[in-house]
Amino acid sequence: MQRQLELLIQAGTPLISIDTTDEERALALSIEVAEKLGWSRYEWSFINGLKHYKEDSPVGATMAKAGDPPAALEHLLESKPKSLFIFKDLGPHCKDAKVHRLVRECLQLCADRDSAIIMIDSLPLPDEIKRFTVRYEIGWPSLDELEEVVKNTFQRIKKENGGNVKHELTKQSLYQLVQSLRGLSCREAERVVGSAILDDGVLSADDLSTIVELKRTLLGTTGCLESIAADFSVDDIGGLDNLKAWLRKRRGGFSREAREFGIEPPRGVLMLGVPGCGKSLCAKVVASDWKMSLLRLDPGNLYQKFIGESESQLRQALAQAEAMAPVVLWVDEIEKAFASASASSSDGGLSKRMFGTLLSWMQDHRHPIFIVATANDITALPPELMRKGRFDEVFFVDLPDEAARRKIFEIHLRRRKRDPAKFDVTLMAEAAKDFSGSEIEQVVISALFRAFSVKEELASEHVLHELSQTSPLSGLMSERVEELRAWADGRCVPASGLRL
């Protein structure tokens, strides 16, 4: 990374822009390049003015007073050859006509004197100056940098607390912890790791879930991606044994050992099924079980009214997912976003272009991102989405069988602080034939309200009564369910059953 910036400067690029919020890392990189080239180094900010730094002067001599961008640029016109000028947040001032003109005057001068200007800005550059710059991406911290942050943060906190801090990290758990920090700046990673250490005075593999949650809270929600709390476990799903076994085998697929063993990281799964049978819940379970952040891509926010804005939304969402990796990227009801890509539509080919962008990214990206896409009507999607290489497997999630229904009743009764042993779960499961998992949950909730209204403790009779009063969706749309089953037969792997 340092070499690329060095080559840009040596090639005579007079004005380089670094658009980042990680100012400290961009500044450190610029300083390293100046020292490597042996050039004089100047730094400017609106607060500190222009300072000239030498090897024997770490404080820096003030060359232009604070709050006066033109004075700093005028000094640049008087500077000696082989000088590197680093300007922090100069971009907004370039809208001023005098500043803009001075920057333009400095460009040719820098080219003639083997000098360069680096603009480090956290806000987008205005068009007045953007066209004259060459943009340089510093990217996110590498795994080695993040590992160094973890070690330095631990040593600092240990020193501050008189040695009353310890770590219980193995080589593998340290690697997983560092992976979970991807997408954060060094300073953000330091805060997250520090919080995990100070929570109990120990840095261990048990802190992975804490770090993932802190990262989710820190990054929040941006654009079409929503950060979701993954607060479920595999035990919160009844049935789906095939899917669980498949995911369990691939749990370590993003680890260093897996790569050294020759394993390609898992890419994702596509789940077709009857609504309410646990497809969306699986995305949360994968993120929780694999200790990864969960991002939900909302297809409804992708489409915008201005030309080119929809494609830009999708590219920004995918770029953000790459920055936050390792993550589970959950694309809910994918057919609603790209269904018209499989047929002629009146959107001028927008769906097809966006679908092509998504397919290319799914095929080519090399980031630790596991995609969980769910669909209720896969026949509306183009067939190329389902070929191997895009998804590792396509699962069909059917209505739960009797054993799965018993498990689902037990899960929801425990969740509401009831002992399943006090209920006739077998009879309830038999009565709930053709009910989906979400419908069983609603039946338990309705039974609770019924028992509460008559001042009685919840019993099997309340649940059975609510079951008798409820018509499952599978009965109301039985033809549609049978069509789904017929299409999935031979095309998809059953999420439950014997096939693996």
Three-state secondary structure call for residue 207: helix
Q: What is the CA radius of gyration of the chain?
A: 29
Predicted local confidence at residue 389, as pLDDT: 67
Which fold would CATH assign to domain 2-135? Rossmann fold (3.40.50)
**pLDDT tens for residues 56-72?**
566 678 888 888 999 99
Q: What are the structure tokens assigned to 421, written together?
A: 């042993």
Does the N-terminal peptide bond of residue 70 adopt cis geometry, omega within 30 degrees of 0? no
CB contact set of 385 (below 8 Å; sequence gap of 6+): 270, 334, 338, 355, 359, 391
**Cα separation of 256 and 144, whole Å?**
13
Q: Give the Cβ contact number of residue 291 at 10 Å.
A: 18
CB contact set of 139 (below 8 Å; sequence gap of 6+): 1
The verdict on domain 402-469 having CATH code 1.10.640.10 is no
**Cα separation of 484 and 495, whole Å?**
14
Two domains, one topology: 143-218 and 227-397: no
Q: What are the structure tokens assigned to 278, written together?
A: 């646990």
Compute mean pLDDT per 10 residues along the chain, 500 residues long, and list them: 85 92 89 91 93 74 89 90 94 92 91 92 87 88 88 91 85 82 84 89 84 73 67 78 87 83 88 82 83 78 60 77 82 72 55 78 85 80 71 88 91 92 93 90 94 93 92 79 82 69
Which fold would CATH assign to domain 227-397? Rossmann fold (3.40.50)
Beta pairing class for 15-19 and 116-121: parallel
Three-state secondary structure call for residue 304: coil
Predicted local confidence at residue 98, as pLDDT: 93
**Cα separation of 140 and 151, whole Å?**
18
pTM, entire model: 0.67
CATH code of 143-218, in short, is 1.10.8
Predicted local confidence at residue 43, as pLDDT: 94
Backbone φ and ψ of 224, nearest 5°: -85, -5
Predicted local confidence at residue 481, as pLDDT: 81
**Cα separation of 72 and 75, whole Å?**
5
Q: Where are the domains of the chain?
A: 2-135, 143-218, 227-397, 402-469
Predicted local confidence at residue 500, as pLDDT: 37
**Cα separation of 355 and 338, whole Å?**
6
